[in-house]
Amino acid sequence: MKGVYSAPGDYIYFKSQVPLHKIPIGTKQWRYYDFGPKAVPPLICLPGTAGTADVCYKQIMSLSMKGYRVISVDIPRVWNHHEWVQAFEKFLDAIDVHHIHIYGTSLGGFLAQLFAQHRPRRVRSLILSNTFLDTRSFSAAMPWAPIVSWTPSFLLKRYVLTGIRDGPHEPFIADSVDFVVSQVETLSREDLASRLTLTADAASVGPLLLTDSFITIMDTNDYSAIPQQLKDEVSERYPGARRAQLKTGGDFPFLSRPDEVNLHLQLHLRRVGVEARPDLVPGIPKGGSGGSSSEENEKKDPEDPAKDEDPANDDRGSSDNPLAESQLPHAPESSQSHSLDDQLVSNAIVCHFSNVDMMVSLHLGFLKNQHTIPTETVMRLCAEIIALQFLSFYVGSLYISLNCNRRVGQVV
């Protein structure tokens, strides 16, 4: 966290590809990313107190390319939990989303459970990570909560950052901490005050109509800002929930362990019936020479097997594709082509003169790289070889004649 922070390259690429949306709904300003096929029920990511919509950029990029729709939102400026439920429902109505799956971490996981409690028809499943069921312990740790809205910005940021464990980290966890700290610097005083108010305001999650089989609990086993006791209470509340334990990851496994988190998210979505639509992802070719062989094989027309077997209908067989030979089976060679090659090789063995050997080897190298040899080409090459043979014999005999004449002249 020291020195000048430099944004990671994949985040810069993410910002260049995924647009940031900002819409006012009533008195609330919503900031969010929405990426992936609109036909798929969305996975909505709710960050914790120190997070923004940007902290889930690794999930947006990975899952959207697999055909899932991911929406990552900033927690708006709301000052109590009832206001949060109403504001979030209006946001879903504004973006025309009715049924959702929520991935919530820390405060985001708590708010996700509250929304699922009060709007059970809209929440189809939950993924909860390093979260809690009530705010009693946080209220006890913030006796100054009644004046949080008047607290200066630098004090609020310092309080938020003290909840992040400082010290030596492994590189990926250290990078995740640096990224979240950079996001905290972008939050205004009102944003921080409202989130701390939601954390300290007395509230607890009641019974959910959602069955435990539609809940996945994904916690880290090393450490987090949420005490282990609070995480154990969540596991006890949902005994039938799926467990996705991460050995390490710290407070922000979605940044430090994105591959593991994305895998568990994908498994959860499959288990609850969300079907990915990779065919609707822009930029993935539906066929032709632009895609890889595996993608094209998966997208072959099952109703026309003869088309798949015809090499003339496959663009990969063109001479411009250097991988064509490895992707397509070799066409069977006729016995005539083998006899022609054998005949030319035997003719080359007869030639012992250096110039003729060089020419024959060049012609043979050319012939072996061709799959089909026209008859005219074969006849022309044979004629050239015969002519070269006679020429070599003529040059040799002329040389012998000249030597004999010179010796006769010397004797005379």
Residue at which a domain ends, from 280, 298, 331 = 280
According to the model, what pLDDT value does residue 383 have? 67
Residue 210 lies in a domain: yes
Token duo for residue 108: 């985001």
According to DSSP, the residues that pair with 281 across neighbouring strands are none
Residue 315 lies in a domain: no
Q: Show the domain range for 25.
A: 9-280
Q: Are both 275 and 384 inside the same structural domain?
A: no
Residue 365 lies in a domain: no
Q: Please, what is the Cα angle at 122 between 116 and 126, to 5 degrees?
A: 50
Residue at which a domain ends, from 218, 246, 280 = 280
For every one of its 412 residues, what pLDDT tens digit does the chain have, with 9 covering 90 and above? Answer: 445 677 899 999 999 999 999 999 988 999 999 999 999 999 999 999 999 999 999 999 999 999 999 999 999 999 999 999 999 999 999 999 999 999 999 999 999 999 999 999 999 999 999 999 999 999 998 988 889 989 999 999 999 998 887 777 889 999 999 999 999 999 999 999 999 999 999 999 999 999 999 999 999 998 889 999 999 999 999 999 999 999 999 999 999 999 999 999 999 999 999 999 999 997 654 443 333 333 334 444 444 433 443 433 433 333 333 333 333 333 333 333 344 344 433 444 333 334 434 443 434 443 444 444 455 555 666 666 776 666 666 666 665 666 555 544 444 3
Q: Tokens 């490895």 identify what position? A: 326
Residue 4 lies in a domain: no
Q: Are both 109 and 221 inside the same structural domain?
A: yes
Q: Are both 275 and 400 inside the same structural domain?
A: no
Q: Are both 197 and 50 inside the same structural domain?
A: yes
Q: Are both 239 and 109 inside the same structural domain?
A: yes
Q: Are both 274 and 381 inside the same structural domain?
A: no
Q: Are both 276 and 390 inside the same structural domain?
A: no
Q: Are both 265 and 406 inside the same structural domain?
A: no
Residue 97: which CATH number?
A: 3.40.50.1820
Q: Are both 255 and 123 inside the same structural domain?
A: yes
User: In 3D, which of 390, 406, 328, 303 has the Cα closest to residue 353?
Assistant: 390
Angle between helices 57-65 and 9-17 (to 10 degrees): 60
Token duo for residue 352: 């012992």
Residue 96 lies in a domain: yes
Residue 306 lies in a domain: no
The whole-model pTM stands at: 0.69
Residue 275 lies in a domain: yes
Distance of CA 184 to CAs 50, 51, 74, 83, 248, Å?
Answer: 6, 7, 12, 23, 23
Residue at which a domain ends, from 264, 280, 296 = 280
| Domain total of the chain | 2
Residue 58 lies in a domain: yes
| Three-class DSSP category at 114 | helix
Q: Are both 65 and 174 inside the same structural domain?
A: yes
Neighbours of 103 (CB within 10 A): 30
| Three-class DSSP category at 132 | coil
